[in-house]
Amino acid sequence: MVLYRLLNLVNDIAYLYTILLVVYALLSWFPGGYDSAIGRFLRKICEPYLSLFDHLNLSLGPINFNIAFAIIVLQLAVQALTRIIVAIF
């Protein structure tokens, strides 16, 4: 029962972080979006994780796919962690 709650908590945190990453990406559409209070807050939360993917340079013209790739990696990692924990217990 505790394991089930722990897995739900991990999934909920990953879902919330995914939403924050999407909002962070959408801020690029607004001039000065990253300079607002919300933008500064999201920068502090999202930039450390996104900096892991900066060296990949997943750009196609003016569109940068680093955030999309980071979201996919996050979701795959959570799914893998869930399967490993369920397999162990």
Q: Is the pLDDT of residue 67 over 90?
A: yes
72 phi and psi angles, rounded to 5 deg:
-60, -45
Which of helix, strand or coil describes residue 24? helix
Which pLDDT band holds residue 57 (cuts at 50, 70, 90)? confident
pLDDT mean across residues, the chain: 93
Which pLDDT band holds residue 62 (cuts at 50, 70, 90)? confident
pLDDT reported for residue 27: 94
Percentage of the residues of the chain whose pLDDT score is greater than 90: 79
Which of helix, strand or coil describes residue 42? helix
